[in-house]
Amino acid sequence: MKKNIVILCMFLVVVVSFIFVLIVIRNNENLKENVVLANQQKKIKRDEVGRVSDLNFYQKLHENKDINALIIGDSIAQSTGSSNFHQKWINVIIKDVQKKYRSTITTDPITGGSTTGVRAWVELNNVKLIKQYDVAFICFGQNDQFSIKPKQFRMFYESIIIKLKKINPNIEIIPIIESSFREYNDYSSVIEDLAEHYNLQYADTVRAFNNSGKLYTDLSNDLVHPNGKGYVYYAKTIEKVINDNYISNKKTDIDYSVLYNNTKKLADFVFDNSPDSNNGFIIEDGFIGNKVSENLVFNTSKSVAIIHFLRKPKGGKFKVFIDDNFIKEINTNSTFQVSYSDLIAYNLKGNHKIRIETSSIINKGSVKILGFVTN
């Protein structure tokens, strides 16, 4: 009897052990299957992310994908003059895209009030962009009319287009001819020529305002910035560009060559914040001069020279010299704080000394130089 019980116990142990082994094997097989499935899902996800990243702006709209947008421009790009958040032209477009294409647009701005093509080029090259942008809206020219010549304007504008294409060859770029031009001029012609060369459809708000049947004073309170009614025409004009290209399934990744020879000067970008000589400026996120005759000296062998500085309340004035020859005096005083870039020279040859010297301090204020930019 005892012998039978022992045999039965041994049998049960063997059976339980066998079942345990089967369970372990089965679990291992399930684990392997789960790992394989997880890897397959990861690959599918990676492939999908890669596929979506290869889509252009209009393809993403067709698939209702989220959109990353970059806004590069002046105060009109910021919708200065609109009375509330909902009147800003970009917010009208965001709402329209959500409604028409069921896509969400996230926007990032670069630059802002008082922007010129020079400043936009400097800050676009100087900022660290962490996204792959699907579309960029370029909105400047108004301020360039009073600071640089058309030949210089086109050099910087084209360089901005090239920079954006380097960030993402598939990016859609929508240039805006600003209504504040009132009439077509040499600067708007540059935008038109570049748009044709790079297969870009520009938003012509000069035409939109002229065809509105309204007086300019009805659409702008200060004769420069559109008001809420004026920005409606901005939004509608841009929306039409988007919709026309959406319908035609526009291609954005194209082969191109540089249109203007001068643009080749800006193939390289150097932001120099280490002057060869500093006589009196305080180093604090740039260089602060609060006494007349304090100066910074930069030596350069490059052809382009740009001073990047801060405009602000209680800003002062500084003079710029090339090889001790006076070039210009720059006033940094402003009602609001904003970075700015001033083109000093774009056709230098050989070695030169650039001296920046404080010439006037306003109400115990200061001059702040952010850096010296060359090519």
- Residue 364 sits in a domain whose CATH number is 2.60.120.260
The last residue of one of the domains, among 263, 296, 313, is 263
Task: Residue 218: give the domain boundaries.
Answer: 57-263
279 and 234 in one domain? no
Of 263, 296, 312, the one marking the end of a domain is 263
Q: Please check whether residue 44 lies inside any domain of the structure.
A: no
CB 173 within 8 A of CB 198: yes
Q: What is the pLDDT along the chain (375 residues), one digit of tens a residue?
A: 666 676 766 776 676 677 776 777 777 777 766 666 555 454 444 444 555 778 999 999 999 999 999 999 999 999 999 999 999 999 999 999 999 999 999 999 998 888 999 999 999 999 988 889 999 999 999 999 999 999 999 999 999 999 999 999 999 999 999 999 999 999 999 999 999 999 999 999 999 999 999 999 999 999 999 999 999 999 999 999 999 999 999 999 888 899 999 999 999 999 999 999 999 999 999 999 999 999 999 999 999 999 999 999 999 999 999 999 999 999 999 999 999 999 999 999 999 999 999 999 988 899 999 999 999
What DSSP string runs through 128-152? ---S--SEEEEE--TTGGGTS-HHH
- The CATH number linked to 202 is 3.40.50.1110
In a domain, 211, yes or no: yes
pLDDT at position 3 is 61
Pair 283, 160 in one domain: no
- Verify that 63 and 182 share a domain, yes or no: yes
114 lies in the same domain as 236:
yes
Tokens of residue 2, six digits: 């005892």
Residue that is written with structure tokens 């490059």 in the block: 302
Predicted pLDDT of residue 15? 67
User: Are 335 and 258 found together in one domain?
Assistant: no
- 198 and 317 in a single domain? The answer is no
Tell me, yes or no, whether 171 lies in a domain.
yes
In this structure, the answer to whether residues 232 and 279 fall within a common structural domain is: no
Q: In 150-273, where do the E strands start and end?
A: 172-177, 203-204, 270-272
Give residue 8's pLDDT.
66
Claim to verify: residue 361 and residue 286 sit in the same structural domain: yes
Predicted structure pTM score: 0.87
How many domains are contained in the chain? 2
158 shares its domain with 250: yes
| 81 and 194 fall within a common domain | yes
| Domain finish residue from 229, 244, 263 | 263
